[in-house]
Structure 1
Amino acid sequence: MPVRVQTADFDLSAEVAQLRLANPKVGAVAAFVGTVRDLNDGAEVSGMELEHYPEMTERALEQIVEQAKVRWPIFDALVIHRVGPMKPLEQIVLVAVTARHRGEAFAACEFIMDYLKTQAPFWKKEQTPEGARWVDARESDDAALRKWDN
């Protein structure tokens, strides 16, 4: 399954190995792991909680992966996104892409992550010393998404 939304952590090595070993033609694997930071917008973050609409979220992520497959000749892609409460340094998301060559693997991985940050229906709440706060989308994420318009 190319998309999983789950509360449990994931094993980066095992996930990437399984994806890579699925096709002997794979010459490149590009992977991105996002983690919880302990500081955001100048405030200490002691924890974060991600919420989502289950079926809608999986469908949105699958569509993003399909768009990447249309744009680049990749073999496969995997997106694992965690939801629920998490602490600093914990893994949030894995995007991994296999292809014949590194160029398309890197590009597709970045594309998937850029679209995920702006188009996937997740809501993030951080715990700070001042209390809980919802995190808005960043202009830098929107700018990263615009580079794919062509």
Structure 2
Amino acid sequence: MMDKISTFLWFDGNAEEAAEFYTGLFPDSSIEEATRTTMDYPGGKVGDVITVSFTLSGRSFVAMNGGPDHPFTDAISLSIDCADQAEVDRYWDALSDGGEPIICGWIKDRFGLHWQVTPRILPQLLADPDRAKAKRVMNAMTQMVKIDVAEIKAAADGKA
């Protein structure tokens, strides 16, 4: 069943490949339907996949092959809540394959979509009532590309 509100993603001819990659990466994910176009359009021709409906971890998405006119920017990203460093590493490694690591846990995948690979402890420490601790964590995070949980904890404890 589709959510009341779904995220709609514009791809340049590789929507189906992206949906297959994402659904293979996240648990509780599947492709529901691929719809083929009945006419030629700027991003494709009759018979090409135009949209792919899929879920990622239980949330609805639609990927569309809309052509090259609207590439992704970092103005929107998908954030992954990671339980621990092993989960951070797993998602980071998969998304960085053909992608581009950025900074502070952000990565642009090979399809151009931006992700935040975030260990659960990071936002907790950034919201800590001890603002000096939170500042140490923020300073440590801004020096990282992929977030390192041990380093974040060391910064929180004043040991970094």
Whether these two folds match at TM > 0.5 is no
- Normalised by the shorter chain, which TM-score bucket? under 0.3
- Say which structure, 1 or 2, has more relative contact order (CA 8 Å, 6+ apart): 1
Determine which structure has the larger strand proportion and give its number.
Answer: 1
| Structure with greater helix share of residues | 1
Could you state the TM-score of these two structures normalised by the residue count of structure 2? Answer: 0.26
